[in-house]
Amino acid sequence: MIKIKVFKDEKNLIKQIELTGHAGYADSGYDIVCAAVSSQVISVENSLHQLLNIAVETVVNEVEGGYLKMTMPVVSDEKLSENGQLLLNHLVFALQVLSQNYSEFIKIQEKTFN
């Protein structure tokens, strides 16, 4: 199962997203649930970097896979911050839709960011 934790601050801004585990829907290379989650996350991460120039810190387990943590930096420009939050909220929404369709393979939790 892919476990997703969405960490928000007191202003309800997304500060960090952490994904752990494997979907287990199918064998590696054929797992459409894993591919869908990965595609969404990588797309938003790339958009934050390339389109908005936001230096998101990303940690992945390159050896075993099954782990990614993306942390938003402090963004002082209000419009840029809003655009970054829009992308992150889109990601969470997309992951929620996937979770509704594949609830036995994806679990999402919201937590407070400390």
Domains of the chain (ranges plus CATH)?
Answer: 2-112 (3.30.70.1490)
pLDDT tens for the 114 residues of the chain, in order: 999 999 999 999 999 999 999 999 999 889 999 999 999 999 999 999 999 999 999 999 877 778 999 999 999 999 999 999 999 999 999 999 999 999 999 999 999 987
How much is the pTM? Answer: 0.92
SS3 state of residue 34: helix
Please provide the size of the chain in residues: 114
Helices and strands counted in the chain (H then E): 2, 5
C-alpha 17/C-alpha 19 separation (Å) is 7
Whole-angstrom CA distances from 72 to 16, 19, 24, 39, 50 are 6, 15, 29, 19, 14
